[in-house]
Amino acid sequence: MKKLRIALGCDHAGYSYKEIIHEMLTKEGFEVKDFGTFSEQSVDYPDFVHPLATSIENGENDLGFLFCGSANGVAITANKHQQIRAAIAWKNEIAALARQHNNANVLCLPARFISVDEAKQFANTFISTAFEGGRHQNRVDKIAVC
């Protein structure tokens, strides 16, 4: 089975979490593309979110993870892209449901509100959970405004 290609991005508040998840995914054998930021220096998150989202839309990456303090800004920005379904998770069940019911392709994690261990757990759940399709497919098909 082909390993997923995973895109990572963050702002300064999510930098340390991104680095930890990057290391974890690399060790697990995933192909990882890091869109930055690359330090804890204050940055504007859209500068990193838009390229990540575009890479998923054009098929260069399969899934993405975004990290910031609350996860709100990165989720709002990512969801401006028509083919992106970005979900914020603060519990493992939310990460699973984002994939199962919404076919989310980007998970946004609030670094100031979850632990590193939770971030790892949520990332693994998101990657390993499949979209259920069925009754959910009709709803997902209605999300994009084209």
Domains of the chain: 5-141 (3.40.1400.10)
One-letter amino acid at 116 equals V
- Kindly report the pTM of this predicted structure: 0.96
Active-site position among 12, 22, 50, 68: 68
What the block records as the tokens of 142 is 């209605």
Strand 86-88 and strand 31-34: pairing?
unpaired
What the block records as the tokens of 129 is 């959970």
User: What pLDDT is recorded for position 1?
Assistant: 56
Judge whether 108 counts as a catalytic residue: no
User: What pLDDT is recorded for position 85?
Assistant: 98
CB atoms inside a 10 Å sphere around CB 74? 32
One-letter amino acid at 80 equals K
Burial class (CB in 10 A: 0-12, 13-18, 19+), 51: middle
Q: Bridge-partner residues for 88, per DSSP?
A: 108
User: What pLDDT is recorded for position 16?
Assistant: 98
User: What pLDDT is recorded for position 146?
Assistant: 66
User: What pLDDT is recorded for position 133?
Assistant: 84
User: What pLDDT is recorded for position 145?
Assistant: 81
Q: For every one of its 146 residues, what pLDDT tens digit does the chain have, with 9 covering 90 and above?
A: 568 999 999 999 999 999 999 999 999 999 999 999 999 999 999 999 999 999 999 999 999 999 999 999 999 999 999 999 999 999 999 999 999 999 999 999 999 999 999 999 999 999 999 998 889 999 999 888 86
**137 secondary structure, DSSP code:** H
One-letter amino acid at 38 equals F
Active-site position among 22, 50, 81, 101: 101
One-letter amino acid at 73 equals G
What the block records as the tokens of 41 is 């220096």
Judge whether 68 counts as a catalytic residue: yes
